[in-house]
Amino acid sequence: MERHRDKAYQETLDYLYRFVDYSLVRNFRFTPEKFNLARVERLLALMGNPHHRYPVVHVAGTKGKGSTSALIASALSAAGYKTGFYSSPHLSEFTERFQIDGRQIDPGELVNIVDAMKPLIEQVAEISWFEITTALGFEWFARQGVKMAVIEVGLGGRLDATNVVNPLVAVITSLSMDHISVLGDTLAKIAFEKAGIIKPGRPAVTAPQRPEALEVIQAAARERGSRLVEVGRDVLYRPLEHSLAGQSFELEAGGRAVKIEIPLLGLHQVENAACAFAALQVVREQGYAVSDEAICAGFGRVVWPGRFELLRVDPPVIVDSAHNRDSARRLRQAIDDYLPNRPVVLVFGASEDKDVRGILGELTPRVRQIVATQSEHPRAMAADKIVDIAREYGCPAQAAAPIEKAVELALEQAGQEAAVVAAGSLFIAAAFRDVWNKK
Give a three-class secondary structure readout of the chain: CHHHCCHHHHHHHHHHHCCCCHHHHHHCCCCCCCCCCHHHHHHHHHCCCHHHCCCEEEEECCCCHHHHHHHHHHHHHHCCCCEEEECCCCCCCHHHHEEECCEECCHHHHHHHHHHHHHHHCCCCCCCHHHHHHHHHHHHHHHHCCCEEEEECCCCCCCCCCCCCCCCEEEECCCCCCCHHHHCCCHHHHHHHHHHHCCCCCCEEECCCCHHHHHHHHHHHHHCCCCEEEECCCEEEEEEEEECCEEEEEEEECCEEEEEEECCCCHHHHHHHHHHHHHHHHHHHCCCCCCHHHHHHHHHCCCCCCCCEEEECCCCEEECCCCCHHHHHHHHHHHHHHCCCCCEEEEECCECCCCHHHHHHHHHHHCCEEEECCCCCCCECCHHHHHHHHHHCCCCEEECCCHHHHHHHHHHHHCCCCEEEEECCHHHHHHHHHHHHHC
pLDDT mean over 50-74: 97
Domain ranges in the chain are 2-300, 309-438
* pLDDT score for 178: 62
* pLDDT score for 161: 96
* 204 φ, ψ (degrees, to nearest 5): -140, 155
Question: pTM for the complete prediction?
Answer: 0.91
Q: Which residues pair with 399 in a beta bridge?
A: 372
The number of angstroms, rounded, from the C-alpha of 435 to the middle of its chain's C-alpha atoms is: 22
* pLDDT score for 31: 52
Burial class of residue 438 in the structure, from the number of CB atoms within 10 Å of its CB (0-12 exposed, 13-18 middle, 19+ buried): exposed
Confidence of residue 183 (pLDDT cuts 50, 70, 90): low
pLDDT mean over 115-141: 97
Confidence of residue 439 (pLDDT cuts 50, 70, 90): confident
* pLDDT score for 300: 98
pLDDT mean over 303-314: 94
Burial call 415-437: b when 16+ CB within 10 Å, e when fewer? eeebbbbbbbbbbbbbbbbbbbe
**Does residue 395 carry a pLDDT above 70?**
yes
pLDDT mean over 92-120: 97
**Does residue 392 carry a pLDDT above 90?**
yes
**Does residue 25 carry a pLDDT above 60?**
no
- Mean pLDDT lowest for which of 7-21, 28-42, 73-87? 28-42
pLDDT digits (tens, 9 = 90+) for 343-382: 999 999 998 888 999 999 999 999 999 999 998 878 889 9
Q: How many CB atoms lie within 10 A of CB 291?
A: 14
**Does residue 180 carry a pLDDT above 70?**
no
* Alpha-carbon gap, residue 181 to 399, rounded angstroms: 28
pLDDT, mean over the chain: 93
pLDDT mean over 282-297: 98
* pLDDT score for 3: 47
Q: Which fold has domain 2-300?
A: UDP-N-acetylmuramoyl-L-alanine:D-glutamate ligase (3.40.1190)
- Mean pLDDT lowest for which of 264-268, 293-297, 323-327? 323-327
* pLDDT score for 5: 67
CA-based radius of gyration for the chain: 21
Q: Which fold has domain 309-438?
A: Protein-Tyrosine Phosphatase; Chain A (3.90.190)
Most confident of 152-161, 180-189, 195-204, 252-261: 195-204
Confidence of residue 21 (pLDDT cuts 50, 70, 90): low
Tell which wins on pLDDT, 23 or 135. Answer: 135
**Does residue 12 carry a pLDDT above 70?**
yes
Burial call 277-289: b when 16+ CB within 10 Å, e when fewer? bbbbbbbbeeebe
